[in-house]
């Protein structure tokens, strides 16, 4: 038995319109948390001083378990610039190849950076949880020599920010 179903043009248009509205709501509109979160950056690029990247490379190459460090610098949303100028150690309480338990970074830091010994630059669900509870506006994932991904709350779903090394 063959059933022939006819859908009117108006119904198709209505379904497409509802679909576009839902897509826009879930993909393009920031969440309420992002709107009220003062840590959401308008910047698309993060500048990292070369000596900071060199120090991160040394950390990455000398550890086979996860480590965490804190980055200091400045955020200027008027000029749309973010600069990581130095690192500050934090106490690692426990560390494995896949996780690290650490003391929070100080309030005067702008990024907490950790490594993924596996080499993947994408964040884990645990990273997102910790990022959501941290006071830093940025999270960094070191995933290889000269490979640093930096995320803001805004860019978690869109990919990382552009990282540029400066002298």
**pLDDT given for residue 86 in this prediction:** 97
The mean of the pLDDT values for the chain is: 80
Q: Is residue 30 part of a domain?
A: no
pLDDT in tens, 3-56: 666 777 766 776 665 665 554 444 443 333 333 333 444 457 889 999 999 999
User: Buried b vs exposed e over 82-114: b needs ≥16 C-beta within 10 Å?
Assistant: bbbeebeebebeebeeeebebebbeeebbbbbb
Model confidence pLDDT, tens digit, residues 104-134: 999 999 999 999 999 988 888 899 899 988 8
Which residue range forms the structural domain that includes residue 104? 36-166
pTM: 0.71
Domain count, the chain: 1
Domain of 77, CATH number, reads 3.40.140.10
């Amino acid at each position: 038995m063959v059933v022939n179903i006819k859908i009117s043009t108006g119904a198709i248009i209505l379904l497409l319109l509802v679909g576009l509205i839902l897509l826009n709501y879930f993909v393009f509109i920031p969440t309420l948390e992002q709107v009220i979160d003062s840590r959401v950056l308008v910047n698309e690029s993060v500048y990292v001083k070369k000596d900071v990247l060199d120090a991160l490379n040394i950390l990455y190459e000398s550890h086979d378990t996860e480590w965490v460090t804190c980055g200091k610098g400045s955020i200027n949303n008027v000029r749309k610039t973010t600069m990581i100028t130095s690192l500050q150690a934090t106490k690692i309480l426990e560390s494995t190849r896949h996780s690290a338990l650490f003391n929070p970074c100080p309030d005067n830091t702008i990024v907490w950076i950790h490594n993924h010994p596996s080499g993947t630059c994408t964040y884990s669900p645990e990273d997102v949880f910790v990022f959501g509870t941290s006071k830093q506006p940025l999270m960094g994932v070191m995933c290889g020599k000269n490979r640093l991904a930096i995320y803001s709350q805004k860019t978690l779903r869109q990919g990382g920010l552009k990282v540029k090394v400066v002298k």
